[in-house]
Amino acid sequence: MAVEKLSVSLEPETVARARRAAEREGVPLSRWLDRVARKAADLEEARLVLEEHFAERGQPTEAAETASRAAAVETGVGQPVPWEDAQANQAVLARLDEDETGET
């Protein structure tokens, strides 16, 4: 996997928290930061796409919003995940990351 090295400035508390989180997940800090940056970028890009969609097609109707909320409730989207499940999910994702990068 090709990587680009860069220098960033972070608040000391942010660095300490990120180090603890990476340690809990058992991954190097750089991998943890990469994953978090990707997630943040994905969310920002999705927000921009949604803004463009609404600009082109208008805001959803009240009926569409109600149907979307009902579908989310029915499928469990946005619902709290039990701690044990969240830990298991993180372990699986970490393992997938290892498989993808070839690192252990």
pLDDT of residue 11 exceeding 60: yes
Residue 42 falls inside a structural domain: yes
* Two tokens, residue 86: 């969240």
pLDDT of residue 44 exceeding 90: yes
Residue 64 falls inside a structural domain: yes
Q: In sequence order, what are the residues at sequence separation of 6 or more whose Cβ sits closer than 8 angstroms to the Cβ of residue 71?
A: 77
Residue 29 falls inside a structural domain: yes
* DSSP helix/strand/coil, 32: helix
Residue 3 falls inside a structural domain: no
What span, in angstroms and rounded, lies between the C-alpha atoms of 19 and 83? 21
Residue 102 falls inside a structural domain: no
Residue 7 falls inside a structural domain: no
How does pLDDT run across 26-42, given as a tens digit for each residue? 999 999 999 999 999 99
Place of tokens 């989180």: 21
Residue 76 falls inside a structural domain: yes
Residue 19's domain comprises 12-80+88-97
How does pLDDT run across 49-101, given as a tens digit for each residue? 999 999 999 999 999 999 999 999 999 888 888 999 989 998 898 888 877 66
Number of domains in the chain: 1
pLDDT of residue 104 exceeding 60: no
Q: What are phi and psi of 95, to 5 degrees?
A: -65, -40
Q: Please give the full DSSP string across 39-82, using - where no structure is assigned.
A: HHHHHHHHHHHHHHHHHHH-PPPHHHHHHHHHHHHHHTTT----
* DSSP helix/strand/coil, 103: coil
68 near 60, Cβ under 8 Å? yes
Residue 92 falls inside a structural domain: yes
